[in-house]
Amino acid sequence: MSKVSIVDFVRDIYQTNDFIPMHAPTFNGNEQKYVLETIQSTFVSSVGKFVDEFEQKIETYTGTAKAVATVNGTAALHAALYMAGVRAGDLVITQALTFVATCNALHHMGAEPIFVDVSPVSLGLCPKAMDEFLIQHAQVTDNGCIHKQTKRRIRAVVPMHTFGHPVELDELIAVCHKWNITLVEDAAESLGSFYKGKHTGTLGDFGAVSFNGNKIITTGGGGMVLCKTAELGAHTKHVTTTAKVPHPYEFFHDEAGFNYRMPNLNAALGCAQMEVLELYLAQKRVLANRYQAFFENSDFQFVTEPDYAQSNYWLNAVICPSVAARDELLTQTNDAGVMTRPIWKLMHRLPMFKDALRGDLTQSEHIEAHLINLPSSPIAL
């Protein structure tokens, strides 16, 4: 590791003596102009041109067949799981190493998670770990993939592209085909991340993106469902907007829908933020390269993008050589006003998921005990 302390190193990057947060939003483009325009037009809510425009921008950028804007990323995940056919009583495979929203979304549909281990390459769901769990515990029947012990259907898998690093999707898709399981990608953290040239969230049947205030770009609060086909997209739009059958004045709703539509006010912010996404990606890549150089030749291992992928480097991360070294780094930085933090507690340690089915979680436990996130806001170039 460089002779310079991590605190001085980060302060030099951000050129400030003030508190340095984990990830702060910046609005130096057309944000004020577009938001003001929605206020002046009075179309701040469920009708307005910015929602359509924002969805189109995301479609063009990601290459998805249809993007559907939602109130937040958790709502996008909920709608995606609903559209994937997940219903009460189903089991859904996911990571124990994730942000709680992944599990909350499926929990509130009456489904339950199965936790499998993550890959040390991606920090996301490991296809081999999933296959091994299924070989031990599942069987494919005429009614889909059944968990033998509980007789419940394993309907879907939700890998999460941790900190923007894409999971091993080709291998995962092969496991999904083998076991007849639907793939829904939690791409909340990975706008701007590509797997072998394809945008994350577009390889599964559905993907969910978040535009929360701490994500790479923000709409204040917001999310997007990426849909594999135009038909699925049309149905997703319908069901996230109360499932109202279009009519000049009559109210008829043909299924139990959600009110998950993104307000036009938020979409205006999103349209402006899409204009600076490429710049942020470039800035974050430079920042990641600087961290990587800083930790080179040390026993701290900086997390880099997998070689099959191009990551957005949403949150930079380093694996510490020991728990003591991690705690020392956490204290040293936070005491000096430079925010760092450990990764999330594994999901099966939370009271509501403590009884969930799970496979071996050795990698997840190692990462949980050793990983630290570093300040990751885009830097001036």
Interface ranges with ligand PLP (CB under 6 A): 72-74, 98-99, 101-102, 160, 186, 188-189, 210, 212, 223
Please report how close the Cβ of residue 187 comes to ligand PLP at its closest, in angstroms.
9
* Smallest distance, ligand PLP to C-beta of residue 299, A: 28
* Min CB(66)–ligand PLP separation in Å: 20
Q: Which is nearer to ligand PLP, 102 or 236 (CB)?
A: 102
267 contacts 274 by C-beta, under 8 angstroms: no
Q: Which is nearer to ligand PLP, 164 or 378 (CB)?
A: 164
189 vs 305, beta carbon nearer ligand PLP: 189
Query: Between 145 and 209, whose beta carbon lies closer to ligand PLP?
Result: 209
The residues near 148 (Cβ < 8 Å, ≥ 6 apart) are: 137, 138, 139
User: Cα(381)–Cα(373) distance, rounded to whole angstroms?
Assistant: 22
Bridge partners, residue 212, by sequence: none
C-alpha span between 120 and 140 (Å, rounded): 28
- Determine the residue type at 348: H
Cα distance between residue 365 and residue 381, in whole Å: 36
Residue number of the CB closest to ligand PLP reads 73
Q: Which is nearer to ligand PLP, 133 or 260 (CB)?
A: 260
Report the chain's C-alpha Rg in angstroms. Answer: 21
CB 191 within 8 A of CB 215: yes
Q: Which helix (H) or strand (E) holds 207?
A: strand 206-210
149/357 Cα distance (integer angstroms):
11
Would you say 74 or 316 has its CB closer to ligand PLP? 74
Cβ atoms within 10 Å, residue 170 = 11
Q: Identify whether the C-beta of residue 252 lies closer than 8 Å to the C-beta of residue 245.
A: yes
Q: Which is nearer to ligand PLP, 262 or 320 (CB)?
A: 262
Query: Taking a C-beta distance cutoff of 8 angstroms, is the pair 221, 72 a contact?
Result: yes
